[in-house]
Structures are given as structure tokens and as C-alpha cells.
């Protein structure tokens, strides 16, 4: 069968809007598939009129976690078939609204597991060994000399690491923590595979017991209505006063005001945060203290990982626009 002379192929009629700058490997993959790509070069969300212009004809949108994909976004994109979010988290995307319009949502799991787990350990070590505080001392130029009681931290061997959310990243954090001699406990909706639990010596606990008994609590759950402010005043008060909180998941999982109050009250020993409740704002009560370590959302920030995220998002777009199944779809919430 021959097609009508003016019928365009799916690739020719497909326009991919890449809303912020992403590594070139993804753009190349989209173009190699014959897709028309409108790619922003900016490392920030488009302003309203630019976004409306680029979405008007888009059949695919490649978004970052600072792009909000809601009904207003979808109204601007009447031809959209896929939102490929370049992140494992997707709390910036209204997945139910996308599903209602038949728009597939994909994320980038797997490729950022090691980078995020590595950074979690960096934060864990930084907060327990006072790395930031020590560095600030040296850079301040203040006089110092080695001292037996100077800046004492806490060791990790035989301490309990309580992991909230034992998915790929939580499991990779547990593996690394075992190498430091930590004992692993976790909370997850379902039990992890028995072989994995055995290998890691990981004990499944309910949330209250995990918070009350862990020396370090590390968050690896998604941000959903159920996990919003999961770490609140009550949970912080239940922690040991020599325990630490690490968050490389999503800021709003922690009630930041309650965290500041818990630190002020000596209810916990410290916190290490890569993500913030009102990102990029940081609660002013966290900024000037030495018992917290603060990073600017660097979990997946390695060159290799960002390339892999860009490529996976592009592969999802190519698959969906070719009428194939997405590689890493996000399931719409159960109704």
C-alpha cells in the first residue's frame, strides 16, 4: 500500500519540546530518530509565553523537575502524547491529569541509583564527622591546632541505619552502609526480596520503631500525599537525641520548621539535606547552623548520570512516538 502523496510520516509530524537544556546525547538521539526537536538552551524553566509557543504543536515534552506539568501545562499542549521527565522523582507532574488526557508519563529510574546512593553516603559521613564545619574553620583563617577533643563526631560501625523507602536507591545506600559496618533497618510498603534482605542483614520495621531506634534515618521514598511531612514534629521527637536525619529524596517529605525546632531543642544531633521543602529556598533556621550539612540538590549530578538520564528520556520519547511501549513508564495513581 502506498501512502497519499502529502501524508507525513509520524516522525515528520512529531515535534519534541525540550523545555530546558539537557545533555546533548538525548537531543542527538531524538534527531537521529528523525524527530523535529525544539530544545531550550536555558538551564531554567521557560517563561509563560515561550512555553505556550513551544507546547502548541508538541507531541512530546521533555521536562525537568523544576517544570510543573499540570492542567495549565496540558491545556497548552493539545497534541501531547508523552511527558518524559528527566528525573526519577515525578512529583512535579500531575500524573492523573496526564492519564486523563491519554498522555504517557515516563521517568528515569535506575540510571541515577549509584550517583544518588553515593551522595547519600557523602552526606552521612559529612554530618557525622563534621566535614562542612571543619572545612569552614580552615577557610575562616581562624587559628587552630590539633586537639584531642576537637570537633568530635560519631563513628558508623555497629550503628543502625534506618532507611525509609527500600527501592533501588534505598537498597544501594544499604549496600554502601554495610561496607562501613552499619546495621540496616528499613521501612517499605512491601518487604524486600528475601535474598536481598539476607545479604544486607536488613530488618523491616514499622515507621515508628525505625525512627525511635535508628542512629541515622535516611529518606528514599517518593514525595506523595502520603509521604508529605512524613518527618514531622512527632517523628522527630521520637528520634534519639544522638541520631541524624539524611534527606536525598524530596524536600516536602520533611516538615522543615519542625526540623529546625528539633535541632534547636537538641532532639536530634544533626541533619544532612540535599533537597528542601520550598526549593530552592532553604529555611533560614537551617542556614547558620553547624549541625546541618546543606547541598543544592546534587543527588544525580555526575556527568555520566546526567548523560544517561537525558538518553533514557529521549529513548522513551522515541518509543512512544513510534507507537511502541514506553521503557520506563510511571503508573497513574490508583483511583
Which residues belong to the active site?
A: 250, 279, 297
Looking at beta carbons only, is 82 or 269 nearer to ligand GLV? 82
**Residue 299 found at the interface with ligand GLV (CB under 6 A):** yes
Give the residue carrying C-alpha cell 563526631.
153
Looking at beta carbons only, is 137 or 327 nearer to ligand GLV? 327
Q: Find the shortest distance in angstroms from Cβ 271 to ligand GLV.
A: 18
Q: CA neighbours within 13 Å on the CB side: how many for 314?
A: 24
The stretch among 45-53, 84-92, 121-129, 281-289 that binds ligand GLV (CB under 6 A) is 84-92
The stretch among 35-43, 82-90, 188-196, 278-286 that binds ligand GLV (CB under 6 A) is 82-90
SS3 (DSSP) at 204:
strand
**Residue 170 found at the interface with ligand GLV (CB under 6 A):** no
CA distance 301 to 85: 16
Looking at beta carbons only, is 93 or 292 nearer to ligand GLV? 93
The stretch among 16-24, 70-78, 85-93, 223-231 that binds ligand GLV (CB under 6 A) is 85-93
Q: Find the shortest distance in angstroms from Cβ 40 to ligand GLV.
A: 19
Q: Find the shortest distance in angstroms from Cβ 52 to ligand GLV.
A: 26
Closest CA to 59 of 310, 318, 316, 321: 321
Q: Find the shortest distance in angstroms from Cβ 87 to ligand GLV.
A: 3
Residues 49-78 that bind ligand GLV (CB under 6 A): 65
**Residue 165 found at the interface with ligand GLV (CB under 6 A):** no
CA distance 193 to 190: 9
Q: Find the shortest distance in angstroms from Cβ 148 to ligand GLV.
A: 41
The stretch among 35-43, 75-83, 87-95, 96-104 that binds ligand GLV (CB under 6 A) is 87-95
CA distance 167 to 195: 14
Strand order in the sheet with 292-294: 203-204, 183-187, 160-164, 216-219, 244-247, 270-273, 292-294
CA distance 218 to 202: 14
Give the residue carrying C-alpha cell 549496600.
175
Looking at beta carbons only, is 89 or 165 nearer to ligand GLV? 89
**Residue 88 found at the interface with ligand GLV (CB under 6 A):** yes
Element (H, E) at 285: helix 284-287
Looking at beta carbons only, is 14 or 188 nearer to ligand GLV? 188
What distance lies between CA 194 and its chain's CA centroid? 26
Radius of gyration of the chain (CA): 22
**Residue 87 found at the interface with ligand GLV (CB under 6 A):** yes
**Residue 300 found at the interface with ligand GLV (CB under 6 A):** yes
Q: Among 77, 112, 174, 200, which residue sits at the site for ligand GLV (rule: CB under 6 A)?
A: 112
**Residue 93 found at the interface with ligand GLV (CB under 6 A):** no
Q: Among 23, 26, 89, 132, which residue sits at the site for ligand GLV (rule: CB under 6 A)?
A: 89
User: Which residues lie near ligand GLV (CB under 6 A)?
Assistant: 65, 87-89, 112, 299-300
Amino acid at each position: 500500500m502506498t501512502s497519499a502523496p502529502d501524508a507525513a510520516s509520524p516522525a515528520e509530524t512529531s515535534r519534541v519540546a525540550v523545555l530546558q537544556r539537557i545533555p546533548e546525547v538525548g537531543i542527538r538521539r531524538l534527531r537521529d530518530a528523525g524527530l523535529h526537536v525544539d530544545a531550550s538552551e536555558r538551564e531554567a524553566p521557560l517563561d509563560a509565553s515561550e512555553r505556550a509557543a513551544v507546547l502548541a504543536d508538541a507531541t512530546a515534552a521533555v521536562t525537568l523537575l523544576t517544570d510543573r506539568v499540570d492542567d495549565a501545562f496540558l491545556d497548552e499542549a493539545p497534541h501531547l502524547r508523552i511527558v518524559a521527565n528527566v528525573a526519577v522523582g515525578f512529583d512535579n507532574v500531575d500524573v492523573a491529569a496526564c492519564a486523563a488526557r491519554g498522555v504517557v508519563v515516563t521517568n528515569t529510574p535506575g540510571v541515577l541509583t549509584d550517583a544518588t546512593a553515593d551522595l547519600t553516603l557523602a552526606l552521612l559521613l559529612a554530618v557525622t564527622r563534621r566535614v562542612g564545619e571543619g572545612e569552614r574553620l580552615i577557610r575562616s583563617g581562624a587559628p587552630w591546632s590539633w586537639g584531642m577533643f576537637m570537633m568530635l563526631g560519631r563513628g558508623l560501625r555497629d550503628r543502625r541505619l534506618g532507611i525509609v523507602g527500600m527501592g533501588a536507591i534505598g537498597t544501594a545506600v544499604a549496600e554502601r552502609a554495610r561496607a562501613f559496618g552499619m546495621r540496616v533497618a528499613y521501612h517499605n510498603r512491601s518487604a524486600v526480596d528475601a535474598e536481598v534482605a539476607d545479604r544486607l542483614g536488613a530488618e523491616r520495621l514499622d515507621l515508628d520503631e525505625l525512627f525511635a531506634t535508628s542512629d541515622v534515618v535516611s529518606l528514599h521514598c517518593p514525595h506523595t500525599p502520603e509521604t508529605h511531612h512524613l518527618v514531622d514534629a512527632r517523628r522527630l521527637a521520637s528520634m534519639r537525641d544522638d541520631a541524624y536525619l539524611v534527606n536525598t529524596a524530596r524536600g516536602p517529605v520533611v516538615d522543615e520548621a519542625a526540623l529546625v525546632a528539633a535541632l534547636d531543642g537538641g532532639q536530634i544531633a544533626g541533619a544532612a539535606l540535599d533537597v528542601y521543602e520550598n526549593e530552592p529556598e532553604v529555611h533560614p533556621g537551617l542556614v547558620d547552623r553547624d549541625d546541618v550539612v546543606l547541598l543544592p540538590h546534587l543527588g544525580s549530578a555526575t556527568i555520566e548520570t546526567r548523560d544517561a538520564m537525558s538518553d533514557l528520556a529521549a529513548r522513551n520519547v522515541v518509543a512512544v512516538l513510534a507507537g511502541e511501549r514506553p521503557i520506563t513508564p510511571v503508573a497513574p495513581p490508583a483511583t
